[in-house]
């Protein structure tokens, strides 16, 4: 879904072999935080150039996943499209806790690629080389 969405914005040809960059955000402790698993040691850490299996190994813990995972196309080359995953610091196995459940993609929220400064609606742009 993220690849198809990004194609509306970018001129680049997006490869269908994916690599992932993962950003662990801090756990927002408002509300009933006791019902979530948190991993403070992950706060702010970044993992780059991961395979799909490596992402699953990092995000699937004790049968729980982050309650939201924002996904967007970051970069593309001839071999791979790099997807950026920004993840909540709170983990749950209760689908009612997941964001984006009304979109049918929970816990994933598909986001646009980072728009360039001066972006004009409807005009496609090239992805810049990003080093994460």
Please write the tens of the pLDDT for every residue from 99-127: 999 988 999 999 999 999 899 999 999 99
- The confidence band for 31, taking pLDDT boundaries of 50, 70 and 90, is low
C-alpha to C-alpha distance for 128 and 74, rounded to whole angstroms: 8
Quote the tokens at residue 119.
């972006």
Mean pLDDT of 55-61: 97
Judging by beta carbons within 10 Å of its beta carbon (0-12, 13-18, 19+), is residue 107 exposed, middle or buried?
Answer: buried
């Amino acid at each position: 879904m993220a690849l198809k969405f990004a194609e509306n914005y970018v001129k680049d040809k997006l490869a269908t072999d994916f690599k992932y960059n993962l950003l662990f955000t801090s756990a927002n402790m408002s509300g009933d935080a006791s019902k979530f698993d948190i991993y403070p040691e992950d706060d702010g850490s970044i993992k780059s150039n991961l395979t799909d299996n490596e992402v699953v190994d990092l995000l699937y813990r004790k049968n729980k996943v982050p309650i939201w995972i924002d996904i967007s196309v970051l970069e593309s080359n001839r071999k791979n499209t790099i997807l950026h995953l920004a993840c909540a610091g709170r983990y749950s196995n209760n689908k009612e806790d997941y964001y984006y459940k009304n979109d049918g993609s929970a816990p994933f929220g598909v986001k646009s690629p980072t728009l360039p400064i001066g972006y004009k609606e409807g005009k496609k742009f090239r992805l810049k080389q990003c080093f994460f």
